[in-house]
Amino acid sequence: MRFNKIQVLTAMAETGLVPVFYHADVEIAKNVVKACYDGGIRAFEFTNRGDFAHEVFGQLVKFAAKECPEMILGVGSIVEPAAASLYIQLGANFVVGPLFNPEVATICNRRCVPYTPGCGSVSEVGAAQEVGCDLCKVFPGDVLGPNFVKGLKAPMPWSMLMVTGGVKPEEANLKGWFDAGVTCVGMGSNLFPADLIKAQNWAGITKLCSDALDIIKKVRNK
């Protein structure tokens, strides 16, 4: 592992933003990771969403080690322990899922890799924390909303939460989530507009990341 559990969680908390991305073309994926890195991103979630996604990820890890030395690469959309094991073997420094599977927690804990499961209720967050999930994912965020985060944090203020779904690189949206108490946000298509990817406008993606990080700093300081 290039980064330990504390380094990973610290990077997510300090930057406040984890891009969520998948592409079958390894060269496009490399350019996107580099563009995000140049924009200030330090934790990046590549999702396990297509055939041979793990092969793309394996090449990304090697690329980032050379070209983006401080970038922490993790994997998303993990629902079962076999997939978690495979990606950890390929160099994933964190594992994210759309749901909570205690068997995945066992695999990740054995290697001291942070597991951020998708949770849609207070009880699910509590169950995930019981098995060592320091950072839980509020998902789907657009369904649950900032009030869910605020309501959960009142009786469970120690909770570290990342929200994915319904997050936009806009001040009003990000202020709502951070005011509610999230540790960080995961953002996908809004950071990677299809037209920018198609045009290979990597500088445009760098700017979107940089601007989003600036907004997060601003709303956190209020």
- Residue 204's pLDDT band, with cuts at 50, 70 and 90, is very high
pLDDT at 104 over 90: yes
pLDDT at 145 over 70: yes
> Tell me: the pLDDT tens digits for 25-59?
999 999 999 999 999 999 999 999 999 999 999 99
What mean pLDDT is predicted for residues 96-105? 98
Which domains are delineated in the chain? 5-216 (3.20.20.70)
pLDDT at 222 over 80: no
Q: What is the DSSP string of the chain?
A: --S-HHHHHHHHHHH-EEEEE--S-HHHHHHHHHHHHHTT--EEEEE--STTHHHHHHHHHHHHHHH-TTPEEEEE---SHHHHHHHHHTT-S-EE-SS--HHHHHHHHHTT--EE-EE-SHHHHHHHHHTT-SEEEE-SHHHHHHHHHHHHHTT-TT-EEEEESS--SSHHHHHHHHHHT-SEEEE-TTTS-HHHHHTT-HHHHHHHHHHHHHHHHHHHH-
CB 180 within 8 A of CB 153: yes
- Residue 1's pLDDT band, with cuts at 50, 70 and 90, is confident
Residue 199 confidence (pLDDT): 98
> Tell me: the pLDDT tens digits for 8-31?
999 999 999 999 999 999 999 999
pTM over 0.75: yes
Instruction: Give the Cα separation of 161 and 151 in Å (integer).
Output: 12
CB 116 within 8 A of CB 133: yes
Instruction: Give the Cα separation of 195 and 197 in Å (integer).
Output: 5
